[in-house]
Amino acid sequence: MNRTKRKFKFTRDALDVLPIPDEGRVDYSDTHAVGLQLRVSKSGRKMFRVNVFKDGKNNYRNIGPYPELSLTAARSKRREVVAEIHLGTFVSNTNKSAKQPTVGEVLQAYMDFHQNNPEAPKADAAKVQRQFDRFIFNRKGFCRLDATQIEVVDCVPVIREAMERGNTSGNNLLRNAKAAFNWGMKAPTNPKAPKEFSHWKLRFNPFAQMQLQPQSKEQDERYLSPEELAVAYSLLEEEPQPYQEMLRFLFLSGGIRLRQLTRLSWDDIDKKTMTMRLRDIKGRRAQARVYSLPLTPLMLETLLRAHPGDKPLSNGLKTKDEDWLRRIGGIAKKMNGPHFTAKHLRKTGWSLIRDIPDDAKRYWLSDDMSTVAQKHYDFFDHRDNVLRGMLRWQEMCEGIGL
């Protein structure tokens, strides 16, 4: 090809129609942004790179594949690289002195030094680890890929497999993989990351280019009618002890998360003031949110008849959800209707209890509370409304007023 035709003002239309060479690779230069090049390989791959001649040598770096990296973004990255060259902080991607990490090494480092950081462990670390084990770490070939050269096309099969299990699973994996690569890109300059990552040169996050999908699980929209709620509550009588009382407390609480209830100990119960102290660990909180809720007489009686020991709502199993979900699903089967879980009891409480303010319900169920609300609203702001809602909910469980 005539070398003069390799220099032109880059546009998206012009880049889309560039020919694929029969052998080797061809570099095209942008006359609008000096130093920006597009390398086209015989495999069809198109890679943006910066190549600036300074101090008697070419200084170059790959900055991302086209079209995954847009022309506008490439020109912006070019300015950053050119600034590094003139400031003397530039490191070329020809430096082979330090081996770059594989995909598996980036994800594992993210788990070890961010999710499971001893100083600030994340509440959902175990869930993220299960996702990576299930969909990524079992793909040995994918995990061995160079993380600095990985492209979107390499990641598509991984996310597609998770999406086949449900869009919620796929979206969660996509979010966590994106977060892991973002962490890897910042690791060299992160003062909290070990120095062993200072040579990493991750410039592109392929997961960030992929789109989240709409929720697909129809059962997430499941709500129990007042009649179904009363029937489900009555079926607790068929459960063996102490599970009968443990499940009864779950119903009476309005669907408080199981992981909060299983951590409830007698030290958290104040019989004089009729309150209980709960800890919410959902999400990426470094520390649990501790808050208090009123305790009704029926709830206290239920706790006294529940599991013996320091934790009345835990059977001591190692798994965080124990076997509560299985038993709630068993009650749903007995009703011969659509399946429901503890999460759907929680959603039902939101839908049926309409006579208390939404802020009080958010406090009660620790749901969708903003950081400002958590700091400025406490138990006494919502106590009366929450107690009134709890008593009304318990009447619904017992079928009163149907």
Where are the chain's structural domains? Answer: 3-87, 103-216, 221-397
Question: What is the pLDDT confidence band of residue 160, given thresholds at 50, 70 and 90?
Answer: very high
118: pLDDT strictly greater than 50: yes
Tokens of 354: 């309409």
Mean pLDDT of the chain: 83
Q: How far is CA 181 from the centre of its chain?
A: 13
Nearest Cα to Cα of residue 348 among 300, 291, 397: 397
pLDDT at 143 over 90: yes
- Report pLDDT for 220: 54
- Residue that wins the pLDDT comparison between 26 and 351: 26
Would you identify the CATH topology of the domain 3-87? Double Stranded RNA Binding Domain (3.30.160)
Which is nearest to 157 in space by CA: 114, 110, 103, 108? 103
Structure-token match 């007023």, residue found: 401
Q: Is residue 372 over pLDDT 50? A: no
Give the confidence band of 275 by pLDDT, cuts at 50, 70, 90: very high
Question: By three-state DSSP, how is residue 289 classified?
Answer: strand
Q: What is the pLDDT of residue 373?
A: 47
What band does 91 get if pLDDT is binned at 50, 70 and 90?
low
**Do 103-216 and 221-397 come out as alike in CATH topology?**
no
Q: Which of 365, 398, 400 is nearest to 248 (CA)?
A: 398
Rounded average pLDDT over 381-397 = 89
pLDDT of residue 371: 47
CATH number of 221-397: 1.10.443.10
Ranked by mean pLDDT, the top range of 63-77, 173-187, 271-285 is 173-187
Is 118 or 399 the better-scoring residue by pLDDT? 399
Nearest Cα to 128, choosing from 163, 174, 167? 174
Least confident of 111-120, 266-275, 305-314: 111-120
Token couple for 203: 């410039």
pLDDT of residue 93: 54
- How far, in Å, are 255, 325, 340 from residue 344 at the CA level? 8, 11, 6
Give the mean pLDDT of 344-358.
Answer: 82
Question: What pLDDT does 283 receive?
Answer: 58
Could you give the C-alpha distances from 305 to 189, 202, 269, in angstroms and in order? 55, 57, 14
Place of tokens 């969909």: 135
Give 18-74 pLDDT, tens digit per residue: 999 988 889 999 988 888 999 998 888 899 988 887 777 777 788 888 988 899 989
354-362: long-range pairs with CB below 8 Å, 24+: 355/388, 355/389, 355/392, 356/385, 356/386, 356/388, 356/389, 357/385, 360/385, 360/386, 360/389, 361/389
Kindly indicate whether the domain formed by 103-216 is annotated with CATH number 3.30.70.
Answer: no
Q: Is the overall model pTM greater than 0.75, yes or no? A: no
